[in-house]
Structure 1
Amino acid sequence: MIALPSSAEVIAAQDAALASPPVPVEATDVQGWVAVNHFHNRSLWAQEDLARRTQAPDAEIVANKRAIDRHNQARNDAIERIDEFLLSALGLVDSATLASALPRSTVPPGARLNSETAGSMLDRISILGLKIAAMREQTQRQDVDDAHRQACAERLERLKQQRSDLGRCYDELLADARAGRAYFKVYRQFKMYNDPRLNPALVAESK
């Protein structure tokens, strides 16, 4: 039986990564693509903060916005790779069609289709990890009053609960998929705004 990453393993790896500056990751397996996804979510978070500056030169904000597009595309690409690896390991997709726009499902009769993919759940777990780390920093600030720290401490507990709940749902989905009770698909994002052939504004610029 192929070992699949549990939510506890993913959360531990993501939290450990947050202890160091983000560095690009090369992926060859599902754990690698989970790390790639987390890297791009971290990069997105930093660029989103910078893009909201009100006193920075316009050129810097433009650079931030373009970086956001690049990281968001890579983040979504990683989600698709995660789903491909998981579905292949679970035997729920025809491997010959895995890289196609519409991979063919090979699910047992009666299995329920889960509307959210396992990869998208891990993506949300990554984002919740970033929120937890950022909110924890707010509880430790010394330049704010107790009311601010207390409000952030309450939000921190809620975020931790949300991540725990989502992790349990992810684990249950994989268990049900392995048992033939549930399945999910690879959902291609087809991000049109980054494609010069599909974004009408970019098409117009090229004429």
Structure 2
Amino acid sequence: MTSLPSSSEVIAAHDAALASPPLATAPGDLRSWIALNHFHNRSLWAQEDLARRTRAPDAEIVANKRAIDRHNQARNDAIERIDEFLLGALGLVDPATLASALPRSTAAPGARLNSETAGSMLDRISILGLKIAAMRDQSRRTDEDVSHRHACSERLDRLIQQRADLGACYDELLADARAGRAYFKVYRQFKMYNDPRLNPALVAEAP
């Protein structure tokens, strides 16, 4: 079976990426899609901060909101691709249906269906990595008082534990899937707001 990334490997890659300026990787193999998902989450984080400015011109906030839409769509697309790669490597999907709207599961009889996909778990691990980095920065601020730094340090510890817990759940899901005890599916997001044929407001704008 193809080697699949463990949670510790993914977390290390996420943290290493945060030590450098954001760089979108070219999509290709599983690990490149994991990196691309992290890039879009990181870009979303930056745009969400900018969109909450209260003194910026309206045009800049509009640009932030549109960038958020683009990155969120790309982030969700990456989650689906990650799940496709993982399920293909685990032999839990019919390859002929993998790119379809409804990929056909080939899980063993009696295997439990996990409600959250492994790709979604990696996405949450990515977001927790961003929270950890931001909270660590807050815990080290010299322009704030001791109580602020202490509160942020406590939150940092909780976030680190949450990421470790989620990573353990991801590892357990992959182990159970390999053993035939569990499976997950590719869940298509079917985002409607970016589709001019499905968003009623965009339909109304069409000539």
TM-score scaled by length of structure 1: 0.99
Partner of 1:181: 181
Within 5 Å, give how 1:31-42 maps onto structure 2.
31-42=31-42
In 2, Cα distance between the equivalents of 1:106 and 1:28? Answer: 24
Q: Which runs of 5+ in 2 are unaligned?
A: none
In 2, Cα distance between the equivalents of 1:147 and 1:157? Answer: 16
Letter in 2 for 1:90: L
| 1:28 corresponds to 2:39 | no
Compute the displacement of 1:80 (Å): 0.1
Letter in 1 for 2:123: D
Partner of 1:47: 47
In 1, Cα distance between the equivalents of 2:23 and 2:34? Answer: 14
In 2, Cα distance between the equivalents of 1:132 and 1:70? Answer: 24
Compute the displacement of 1:25 (Å): 1.0
Partner of 1:201: 201
Compute the displacement of 1:23 (Å): 1.1
| 1:124 corresponds to 2:128 | no
Q: Which runs of 5+ in 1 are unaligned?
A: none
In 2, Cα distance between the equivalents of 1:32 and 1:101? Answer: 23
TM superposition outliers: structure 1 runs of 4+ over 6 Å: none
Partner of 2:162: 162
In 2, Cα distance between the equivalents of 1:75 and 1:109? Answer: 32
Within 5 Å, give how 1:64-75 maps onto structure 2.
64-75=64-75
CA RMSD of aligned residues (A): 0.4
Compute the displacement of 1:9 (Å): 0.2
Letter in 2 for 1:14: H
Helix, strand or coil for the counterpart of 1:167?
helix
User: Could you list the per-position Cα deviations for residues 82-141 of structure 1 after superposition, in whole angstroms to 9, with x for gaps in the alignment?
Assistant: 000000000000001000000000111000000000000000000000000000000110
Compute the displacement of 1:27 (Å): 1.8
Partner of 2:111: 111
Helix, strand or coil for the counterpart of 2:170?
helix
In 2, Cα distance between the equivalents of 1:165 and 1:103? Answer: 29
In 2, Cα distance between the equivalents of 1:100 and 1:173? Answer: 24
In 2, Cα distance between the equivalents of 1:25 and 1:99? Answer: 22
Helix, strand or coil for the counterpart of 1:63?
helix
Partner of 1:100: 100
In 2, Cα distance between the equivalents of 1:203 and 1:153? Answer: 48
In 1, Cα distance between the equivalents of 2:56 and 2:67? Answer: 16
TM-score scaled by length of structure 2: 0.99
Letter in 2 for 1:102: L
User: Could you list the per-position Cα deviations for residues 33-89 of structure 1 after superposition, in whole angstroms to 9, with x for gaps in the alignment?
Assistant: 000000000000000000000000000000000000000000000000000000000
In 2, Cα distance between the equivalents of 1:2 and 1:198? Answer: 38
| 1:9 corresponds to 2:9 | yes
Letter in 2 for 1:174: L
